[in-house]
């Protein structure tokens, strides 16, 4: 039976992209524990061509998605692998203004009333998080970190994302979703 509702973000992962001669490969997915929320807005525009005093043609473009991923605390591995921070000889994580942009796949899962649905954005970049915090009062309130993720179409095939259908929970691809990036087939 198909889901009627979705809820519960969990199992967030990233997989660094390596590009050689126009061909991309994905590293092994690395967990991003502590996923709090994800809101990815579609990027693209609706175009209308008017002729004969009517909307003669309409079309839309797909430029991917962009939005915020809130997490309990961004792991050091993401900071070094994706955000370009460098661990120096003293053991400090150093942020450099000239750090290269690193692309990655972003994988995650939403729970549902029947089955969990798994998603993958195939080509992403991320912003650094803000630095923020506040003092404690009579109780401790955990603070979170937020990064903005931009998911773009892949250059070679225009693929933006995929999701494992509700009914596919028992397939090998679904079961291995977070072990390696599952490539779509033509």
pLDDT value, residue 113: 74
pLDDT of residue 134: 83
| pLDDT score for 10 | 94
Query: How distant is the alpha carbon of residue 60 from its chain centre?
Result: 23
SS3 state of residue 116: coil
Q: Look-up: residue for tokens 């490539």?
A: 183
Q: Which pLDDT value is given to residue 67?
A: 96
Given this model, what pLDDT does residue 1 score?
60
**What pTM was computed for the model?**
0.89
Query: pLDDT by residue (tens digit) across 131-150?
Result: 888 888 888 888 899 999 99
Q: Which residues of the chain have a pLDDT value below 70?
A: 1, 165-170, 186
Number of DSSP helices (H) and strands (E) in the chain, helices first: 2, 13
């Amino acid at each position: 039976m198909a889901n009627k509702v979705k809820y519960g973000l969990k199992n967030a992962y990233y997989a660094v992209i390596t590009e050689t001669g126009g061909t991309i490969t994905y590293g092994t997915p690395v967990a991003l524990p502590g996923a709090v929320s994800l809101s990815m807005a579609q990027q693209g525009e609706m175009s209308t061509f008017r002729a004969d005093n009517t909307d003669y043609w309409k079309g839309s473009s797909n430029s991917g998605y962009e939005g915020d991923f809130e997490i309990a605390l961004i792991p050091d591995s993401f900071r070094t692998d994706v955000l370009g921070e460098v661990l120096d000889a003293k053991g400090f994580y150093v942020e450099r203004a000239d750090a290269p942009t690193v692309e990655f796949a972003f994988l995650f899962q939403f729970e549902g009333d029947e089955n969990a649905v798994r998603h993958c954005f195939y080509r992403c970049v991320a912003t650094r998080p803000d630095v923020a915090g506040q003092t404690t009062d009579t109780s401790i309130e955990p603070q979170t970190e937020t990064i903005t993720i931009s998911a773009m179409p892949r250059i070679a095939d225009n693929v933006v994302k995929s999701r494992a259908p509700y009914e596919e929970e028992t397939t090998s691809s679904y079961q291995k979703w977070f072990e390696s990036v599952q490539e779509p087939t033509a």
